[in-house]
Chains A and B, each alone.
Chain A
């Protein structure tokens, strides 16, 4: 082993939203911190996930809007898009934020090491370069693992970067494929389906579960499916993939529905979005006895692994696989290990989830089905955007707000929004749920007119049987 080149209070391995946030918080708490990244600062989220996809989706939205600009009294000829520029714009957004993380690391005096990390023992981190040569040996009191996850594929199906691709590759295609079959209709599958459909690809979404977006409220998922079908996306739910073969010009996917009927889908490309597994290999964890939980790392309620002094957060420890959860876990873990007053008590029941297709989906808390399973008597309130003044004025009338309350105490148990800007509206309900708000309290909150958020107040009133505008 080399002589250690530096000593730290905390070394964070992985610089995604979990890792870099933890590093900054630790620096704020006066720890001496290092961060190790093998690819690009910012992780999947900034470089290959949340951020570039949102740029792409906004682009698709604007293109769709311009295609319908005649409804607004605006006329154009020869409407075209330059797909290279569409992709480039999304890369620019990633690059700027990537630079931003670099700046934040410097500003907070977090030592940044580019390379692959390996734990020689629980207090020693070795860093290797691309040629697998040992570059540095660092000593630390604690290690925080935040190495994230990577996409899974089906048994016997391999990614080839051309015909069978995963999300990162899907955001770098030179042009929209003529057709694409998307296997797995969670948030990622649905977002790419929306995006490529908007730019003219023929899309088939295949989902094993009975509904698309299986974690969302059934009513919302069904309404979204209806909307996507109207924009000519093909949706096959309750459908398994039984074989995937490559042909000269694409893929052939054999699928089987719940009744056992088989059919064949041909497409230029197959995008696999069926889930992820934790990146726990190659870190030397096996030798240290760090316990796993299936494809992920097992941690306690302060994010410590089975080995004291080694912590893990984010996608690496399993669902919910969300950037904002990873960041919150990072803060919570650091505050826990330093004994700092716990600023952020992470309640997994109060984590919002978003899907950025149009109409957007956002939710927090329990679905109606889950609340019923738990044995609650419910008061459910709804308000459709077609009755909202703002939605009509801006021409975005699809979707609804659905709020699930406990009938006894009136407490908000779950909130589900389908519609334009749903992902921004959910913030109000997340705050409300954190404050254990009731429908009466939401009704008593003056909502600005005309806004889409008025639909939240109206849905709460509907639960009370007092909605004015429907």
Chain B
């Protein structure tokens, strides 16, 4: 039997489910096929459970190291690893349930199974009960995402050599872990395990942590991590990982040539696209190639999200899916995304948008830099969170915002202001003319803008 749809979406992650709901809102008949669980990596094994775990780590870390600063005392501090992880799994279950409700509420046909593309109008779904179902589709949106890359020559075993997805379900807390890859995911896990007392070594091939961020941010984060007790090895390559029972043996080369033994090795060294079977369209470095309308080289085949390549961010994926679907069914002219924030949720948090100082320089732009440290922010001091700073890159002579980089508590919420400002092409004068509530951390954004012109009040 064959069902007919205006749109069939392959993948139920932040691109897929959002695209499906948007099309349904436009009155279209929509099917959405998901091979595992609604919500994709983001909700099941990525953004959401890690944020639950990180918040957990933050609380435990606060209780372990700073409760007495706040005049709070207790004895016998301990934690139950299964409960810590259990809470994050409950959070996930709640959100997955929520998405299934949303799909139903919007009358999207949600199918669990593995999709393959038979031709440009037909998606075949091998349902979980092994039956095959054919969906006839006027449009197909591929949103199948990515999965973690393995270390060359080393397979994940879910136990001692793990990827981020497996790391959130380790049966017991490792006493030592080597995190390979110092990007956002690696840094988040390093913070998490360290906060719970695991001995953490964080290894990065490039010369600094979070290499896509501004250099000053990387440097400040590394200092903070070292102070927190994380061993950070940069410019260091892992040449091999061996399972030794118990644990692993890790050989390194580069700036640090040594062999480390640990209970677990966690690889966060990048991702590789997941392509549905039967896909015949142009690729670019393994990812699906799309034009400005998110159209692939095949006329009615569209793609959005991680599967079309970097930035591999959930919010970018959702935005792309909305653009793609609006472009398919309305007169809206889709936009390729230009301005978007990036976040890392360790403590101190990192959030940024736009150009780094180096990128602005390499682009040959004229600009000024303004900085404001949280140690002179009233709210940060009142809260006991004086770490970090706001750094603004402001173009000259027009005063347009080129980039913003924040390290500190709640950085990931503070960056929203700059998202709106940059999307609306605000100048630094418009940030200055905006009254920021006192006392807030966001005052630091205001002060950093003023500082670029020597007009900050508090420094």
Q: Which residues of A contact B (CB under 8 A)?
A: 17, 21, 24-25, 28, 45-46, 50-52, 54-55, 58-59, 62-63, 65-66, 69, 71-86, 88-90, 93, 96-97, 100, 104, 322-325, 327-328, 331, 343-346, 350-354, 362, 387, 389-390, 392-395, 421, 423-428, 430-432, 434-435, 437, 441-442, 444-454, 456, 465-466, 468-470
B381 within 8 A of partner (CB): yes
Q: Is B420 a contact of A432 with CB atoms below 8 Å? A: yes
Sample 13 A-B pairs with CB under 8 A, ordered by A number.
A54-B382, A59-B70, A73-B56, A77-B74, A78-B76, A85-B68, A327-B457, A393-B51, A393-B88, A435-B424, A446-B341, A446-B423, A450-B48
Would you call the interface of chain A mostly helix, strand, loop, or mixed? helix
Q: A73-B79, A393-B91, A395-B55 are in contact. Are A352 and B437 (CB under 8 A)?
A: yes
Which of B322, B413, B445 counts the most chain A CB atoms within 10 A? B413
A352 touches B435 (CB 8 A): yes
Contact B414 A45, beta carbon cutoff 8 Å? no
Residues of chain A lying within 8 A (CB to CB) of residue B25? 465-466
Q: Does B298 contact A (CB under 8 A)?
A: no
B133 contacts chain A at the CB level, 8 A cutoff = no
Q: Flag whether B376 is at the interface (Cβ < 8 A).
A: yes
Q: Which one of A72, A93, A322, A346 has the highest number of Cβ atoms from chain B below 10 Å of its Cβ?
A: A72
- Across the interface, which residues of B come within 8 angstroms of A322, CB to CB? 437-438
A343 B433 Cβ-Cβ under 8 A: yes
Tell whether, in the assembled complex, residue B52 and residue A76 are in contact, meaning their CB atoms are under 8 Å apart.
no
Interface string of B224-260 (1 = CB under 8 A from A): 0000000000000000000000000000000000000
Cross-chain contact A444 with B423 (CB below 8 angstroms): yes
Cβ A430 vs Cβ B457 within 8 A: no
How does the 8 Å CB contact mask read for B285-326 relative to A, with 1 for contact and 0 for none? 000000000000000000000000000011110110010000
Distance of A354 Cα from B47 Cα, bound (Å): 29
Contact of B436 with A by CB under 8 A: yes
7 closest residue pairs by CB, A with B: A73-B83, A85-B71, A453-B416, A427-B442, A76-B74, A449-B315, A54-B382
Whether A446 pairs with B430 at a CB distance below 8 angstroms is: no
- In the bound complex, residues from chain A placing their C-beta under 8 Å from that of B319 are 446
Please encode chain B, from 48 to 72, with 1 for each CB lying within 8 Å of some chain A CB and 0 for all others. Answer: 1101100110011011000111111
Docked CA distance A215–B25 (Å): 37
Provided the pairs A51-B378, A51-B382 are in contact, do residues A65 and B433 lie with their beta carbons within 8 angstroms? no
Stretch at the interface among B94-102, B122-130, B137-145, B274-282: B94-102
CB B352 to nearest CB in A, in angstroms, measures: 10
Does residue B77 face the partner (Cβ distance < 8 Å to A)? yes
- Beyond known contacts A63-B72, A72-B60: 16 more, CB 8 A cutoff: A85-B71, A93-B378, A97-B381, A322-B437, A324-B443, A354-B437, A393-B91, A394-B55, A431-B420, A431-B426, A448-B340, A448-B341, A448-B351, A448-B419, A449-B42, A450-B314
The minimal Cβ–Cβ distance linking B391 to chain A, given in whole angstroms, is 17
CA distance A379 to B91 in the complex (A): 32
Residue of A63, A392, A444 touching B94 (CB-CB under 8 A): A392
A295 vs B323: C-alpha distance when bound (angstroms)? 56
Nearest-CB residue, chain B, relative to A74: B79
Inter-subunit contact B87/A72 (CB<8 Å): yes
**A344–B433 contact, CB under 8 A?**
yes
CB of A89 within 8 A of CB of B69, answer yes
Q: Determine if B86 is an interface residue (Cβ-Cβ < 8 Å).
A: yes
User: Which B residues are CB-close (under 8 A) to A354?
Assistant: 437, 440
Q: Which residues does chain A contribute within 8 Å of B454, judged by CB atoms?
A: 28
| Residue of A50, A63, A76, A79 most packed against chain B (CB within 10 A) | A76
